[in-house]
Every structure is written in structure tokens, then in C-alpha cells.
């Protein structure tokens, strides 16, 4: 029997929610829509993946998204991949409204879609790549990552030259 991808996704969402979340995180890592690179002056800084540091980073992302009126939902999914540490922060997008017909009359339905921020850190290079974050918030996310996950606040900010921000070509 052939299964359509949307049916498999719906089944996973309903019956194997962790599998669904892992697949969504994997997809977010593979398809970031806006990438930036931040290179710190130090290399080989270990990432703190304890529940406490993850919870602090997640709370920081939640606060940033709430400030931008994207709601207060945030789920963090860590993923180690070869020599890189990947985090996917699932969070709300701006609210949208859609007119629909319900019960024989017009009704306005509001909904909030999901967006994904994907910080990727290579300790050997001292390089943080951030995908899925608006340019205006990339520095904020880099600072959250440096402070909570690396225990090095200000790592990606130079003293006299501002942020160490290098947009990717492409």
C-alpha cells in the first residue's frame, strides 16, 4: 500500500509526536531561510547541553519572540551531528486571520503558524551559524547562544568593532 507523505506526517503527529517533532527539526536544519555567521575569537569552546542551559536558552528565545509579537511558545530540539552542535527552536510566527464559512455564516479564524530558528555551532572553528532568524534578531540569538550554551557572554561581539557578523553569500 502506498502512503502519501501528508498522511504519514499526520499519523506521526497524532500517534508518534516525538517522531514528528524530530522530523520537523531535521527539516528546519536542512532548509534555513536566512543564514548568518558569527565567528568568535576563541576555538574549541565546549557547548553546555545540560537541561539547565537549554532551558535558559529556550526562555531567552521565547522572550525574544514574545517581544516581536510571535507568542510565547518555544520548543528546543538539540541535535549533535558529527563535529557540529545543532539546536532547533520551534516558535510561533505572526498571527494571521482568514475568513471562513462556518455554520452558514462568515467567521474570522485566527491562527499562528510555526517558524524555526536553527543555531548551528562548530567548536573546532569557533563558528556559529544562525538560520531562520530575521536579520534584526540574529545578533540577539548569537548573544543568547554565547551566554547560555557556551557560558561566554559577549563572545561574538567585538569591543571596538561591533558584532562579529558575517552574512553568508548566496
What whole-number distance in Å separates Cα of residue 145 and Cα of residue 47?
9
Distances (CA, A) of 166 to 11, 117, 134, 145, 149: 41, 18, 14, 17, 21
Per the CB < 8 A criterion, the answer to whether 78 and 90 are in contact is no
Percentage with pLDDT > 90 across the chain: 36
pTM of the entire predicted model: 0.74
Q: What is the DSSP letter of 112?
A: E
14 pLDDT higher than 70:
no
Rg of the chain (C-alpha set)? 18
Q: What are the pLDDT digits (tens) for 112-159?
A: 888 888 899 999 999 999 988 888 899 999 999 999 999 999 998 753
- What nine digits make up the cell of 124? 573546532
User: Mean per-residue pLDDT for 90-117?
Assistant: 88
Q: Round to whole Å and give the CA distance between 17 and 26.
A: 14
Higher confidence at residue 110 or residue 27?
110
Residue 80 clears pLDDT 60, i.e. is over it: yes
Amino acid at each position: 500500500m502506498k502512503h502519501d507523505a501528508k498522511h504519514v506526517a499526520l499519523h506521526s503527529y497524532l500517534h508518534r509526536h516525538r517522531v514528528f517533532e524530530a522530523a520537523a527539526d531535521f527539516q528546519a536544519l536542512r532548509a534555513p531561510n536566512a543564514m548568518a555567521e558569527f565567528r568568535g575569537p576563541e576555538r574549541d569552546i565546549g557547548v553546555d547541553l545540560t537541561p539547565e542551559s537549554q532551558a535558559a536558552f529556550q526562555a531567552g528565545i521565547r522572550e525574544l519572540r514574545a517581544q516581536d509579537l510571535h507568542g510565547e511558545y518555544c520548543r528546543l530540539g538539540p541535535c549533535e551531528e558529527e563535529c557540529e552542535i545543532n539546536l532547533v527552536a520551534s516558535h510561533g510566527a505572526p498571527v494571521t486571520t482568514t475568513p471562513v464559512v462556518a455554520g452558514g455564516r462568515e467567521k474570522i479564524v485566527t491562527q499562528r503558524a510555526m517558524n524555526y530558528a536553527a543555531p548551528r555551532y562548530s567548536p573546532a572553528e569557533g563558528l556559529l551559524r544562525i538560520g531562520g532568524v530575521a536579520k534584526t534578531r540574529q545578533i540577539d540569538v548569537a548573544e543568547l547562544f554565547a551566554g547560555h550554551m557556551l557560558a561566554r557572554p559577549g563572545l561574538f561581539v567585538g569591543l571596538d568593532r561591533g558584532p562579529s557578523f558575517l552574512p553568508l553569500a548566496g
